[in-house]
Amino acid sequence: MRALTVTGLGTMLGLFGTACSPDDATPAAGAPGNAAGAPAAGASPSGGGSAANGGGSGNGAQGGNGAAPGNAGSGQPGASGGATAGTSSGGSASPGPAIGPAQFGDGDLDSASDGGTLTFQKLGKAGFYPSRRDPTSGTCDVYQNGSCCMTKHTLADDQLTPWNEELIVTLRGPIQIKQFVVYTSDDEQSWNVQSAWDSAKPAETFGIQFDGNATKGAKFAGTVGSECVADAMTDKPFPCGPNSVPYCPAEGGGPKNYGWSGSKLFVMAARMPMMGESKLDAATACGTGTSNGWYNAPWIGISLGELVREGKFGDCNCYGRTPPEWYAGDGCGQINAFEVVNDNNDYQNFDVFSSNIFSYAGNVGEGPCGKNCNISGVGPADLIDKATSMPAAVGGVTTQGGSYAHVAFRRPTQGYRYILALFDVSTRQMQLAIIHPSKVPAAAAGLLPTLPRSLGRATIDSLLGMRLPG
């Protein structure tokens, strides 16, 4: 999602429809993007386009419901939900040694590259965002209209708020994934695998569930097709229904589970092939034609569980400060971790990602590079200097309320990369990283490629200190 210009607002309004099939609910042509670093007013709640970005608006993580702050997949009761159409889940145990390296075959890896990092620092702010409540509760001090009842959810400190709460990851294709592993920490010192999925060992999946049309009419099995969307969450059901806090209607298809709370580390082995190339089966796409704003535009978005559980395109959610002004993205907001922007205008660029954050705390990071970035002829490189369209010399650092890093991650179209999103509450940092499996830096050797069941604080600090490719 992303902030909208005035001309983009009308386009984005067409997004509110069925969540899983762009053939039935075409997200228009994607709302026109914003100038880099000046995300205007918001974006359609959670759903894949970047709100502060300029990204191809969305379908995937919307909703404005129940993220019980701090619950995030903690020991809430309930076993993993059943695998219904569009839903896949694993077991609930995590015995054994390391998860083990991803299994790569012929053609899975391209030339080795030096990786890239983008570090967001001093994240968090005391304040509030609107949180949904049961309309019969009477706690509707922020907004009330029919069945939509919103109250203030106050955050008293700046310790990575609101991203210290439970988060759900939304995947928009085309993406091919071999591994999806999540670490969490209760004490900031010991980080343990809470969830894992491996395409080579799907029967050993635990602690994670996927929901949505990962390919047309099918559940997640490693590929998310172009214009398709799948949410990744824990396997712990959230008790939606009357008096749930935050409120989420019990009805609706698919699981409504907790996300991952506190400090956490998401690790994926993935690539994002271009549509029309041999590495991607065009039949996996959820749309037809090339005019859709999600066409050929992969997105890894990270949202509060509250935003996702309402039903992706609800008209009552925490995304904006009040539901009528959802497009401002100044409520619970969203993170566009890795987003290819396809708006069928000057912001379109299929080769690089836009990465930024927006919420009640403001917008952090730059908007899309658009046609200003031209990487034709650039050799192996995972991080691009936006000013020159050449490989960046060192990883970028962006500070909330401070400076921006003028770099962009390059989309891995040919070979797999390890893709990391690390949230560390104690240091108020989010570290995004792309790492080539054949060139794991010493700073990441405690994590990759073996993915041990537990990580010590030294490994986390080492990851946070990376400034790849430097």
pLDDT digits over 266-289, tens only? 999 999 999 999 999 999 999 988
In whole angstroms, what is the distance from residue 86 CA to residue 313 CA? 17
In-domain check, residue 147: yes
- The pair of structure tokens assigned to 287 is 């749309």
Mean pLDDT for the chain overall: 82
pLDDT over 80 (residue 219):
yes
Q: What is the pTM of this model?
A: 0.84
Return the DSSP state at 368. -
Residue-wise burial string across 208-227, b where 16 or more C-beta atoms lie within 10 A, e elsewhere: bbbbbbbbbebbbebbbbbb
Say what the pLDDT of residue 87 is.
53
* Cα-based distances in Å from 329 to 130, 324, 374: 11, 11, 29
Numbers of helices and strands, H then E, in the chain: 3, 23
CB 90 within 8 A of CB 82: no
| Kind and range of the H or E run holding 8 | helix 6-13
Say what the pLDDT of residue 344 is.
77
User: Any residues with CB less than 8 A from the CB of 278 and at least 6 apart, and which?
Assistant: none
Question: Can you give the residue range of the structural domain that contains 63?
Answer: 6-464
In-domain check, residue 1: no
Strand partners, 394: none
pLDDT over 90 (residue 34):
no
Say what the pLDDT of residue 345 is.
81
Question: What is the tens place of the pLDDT at every residue in 288-319?
Answer: 889 999 999 999 999 999 999 986 657 899 99
Say what the pLDDT of residue 121 is.
98
In-domain check, residue 469: no
Strand partners, 347: none
Work out the pLDDT band at 43, boundaries 50, 70, 90.
Answer: very low
In-domain check, residue 313: yes
Pick 359 or 54 by higher pLDDT. Answer: 359
pLDDT over 80 (residue 86):
no
Say what the pLDDT of residue 24 is.
35
pLDDT over 60 (residue 451):
yes
Number of domains in the chain: 1
| Mean pLDDT along residues 46-75 | 36
Q: Which of 43, 110, 87, 105 is nearest to 317 (CA)?
A: 43
pLDDT over 50 (residue 332):
yes
CB 411 within 8 A of CB 352: yes
Say what the pLDDT of residue 74 is.
35
pLDDT over 90 (residue 42):
no
Say what the pLDDT of residue 46 is.
39
Say what the pLDDT of residue 312 is.
61
Work out the pLDDT band at 240, boundaries 50, 70, 90.
Answer: very high
In-domain check, residue 255: yes
| Mean pLDDT along residues 88-103 | 68
Angle ∠(63,66,71) on CA atoms, nearest 5 = 135
In-domain check, residue 368: yes
| Mean pLDDT along residues 327-337 | 93
Say what the pLDDT of residue 32 is.
28
Question: What is the tens place of the pLDDT at every residue in 118-152?
Answer: 999 999 999 999 999 999 999 999 999 999 999 99
Return the DSSP state at 77. S
| Mean pLDDT along residues 105-117 | 97
Question: What is the tens place of the pLDDT at every residue in 418-437?
Answer: 999 999 999 999 999 999 99
Angle ∠(453,169,187) on CA atoms, nearest 5 = 45
In-domain check, residue 379: yes
In-domain check, residue 470: no
